A and B are shown apart, each in its own frame.
Chain A
Amino acid sequence: MIEGVTLFQIMSLTTIVFFIGVYGFLTRTNLIAMLMSLELMVNAEAINFVAINKYLSPAVLQGQIFSLFIVALAAAETALALAIILHLYRLTQNIDVKEVKTLKH
Chain B
Amino acid sequence: MEQYIFYILSAIIIVFALLSVTTTKLYRATMYLLFVLVAVSGIYFLLKYNFMAAVQLSVYAGGIMILLVYAVMLTDNIGQPIRSIPRNWKILPAIITVATAVFAIYAIYNFNVGLAINGNSEATTVEQVGEKLLSYSDTGFVLPFEVISILLLAAMIGAIVIAKAKKLVNQENI
Contacts from A to B (Cβ < 8 Å): 1-13, 15-24, 26-30, 32-33, 35-37, 39-40, 43, 46-47, 50-51, 54-56, 58, 60-62, 64-65, 67-69, 71-80, 82-87, 89-90, 95-96, 98
Does more than half of chain B's interface fall in helix, strand or loop, or is it mixed?
A: helix
Q: Is the CB of A61 within 8 A of B128?
A: yes
Q: Is the CB of B119 within 8 A of A1?
A: yes
Considering the chains assembled together, what is the distance between the CA atoms of A37 and B93 in angstroms?
A: 14
| Residue in A7, A8, A58, A73 whose CB lies within 8 Å of B151 | A73
Considering the chains assembled together, what is the distance between the CA atoms of A16 and B165 in angstroms?
A: 40
Does more than half of chain A's interface fall in helix, strand or loop, or is it mixed?
A: helix
Q: Is the CB of B124 within 8 A of A20?
A: no
Shortest distance from the beta carbon of A34 to any chain B beta carbon, whole Å: 10
Number of A-B contacts (CB under 8 A): 239
- Residues in B with CB closer than 8 Å to A95 are 75
- Residues in A with CB closer than 8 Å to B60 are 39, 43, 71, 74-75
Q: Is the CB of B20 within 8 A of A78?
A: no
Shortest distance from the beta carbon of A44 to any chain B beta carbon, whole Å: 8
- Residues in B with CB closer than 8 Å to A76 are 151-152, 155-156
Shortest distance from the beta carbon of A50 to any chain B beta carbon, whole Å: 6
Q: Is the CB of B83 within 8 A of A86?
A: no
Asked if B78 is at the interface (CB within 8 A of a chain A CB), the reply is no
- Residues in A with CB closer than 8 Å to B141 are 65
A3-B119, A39-B33 as given contacts; A30 in contact with B26, CB under 8 Å: yes
Q: Is the CB of A1 within 8 A of B21?
A: no
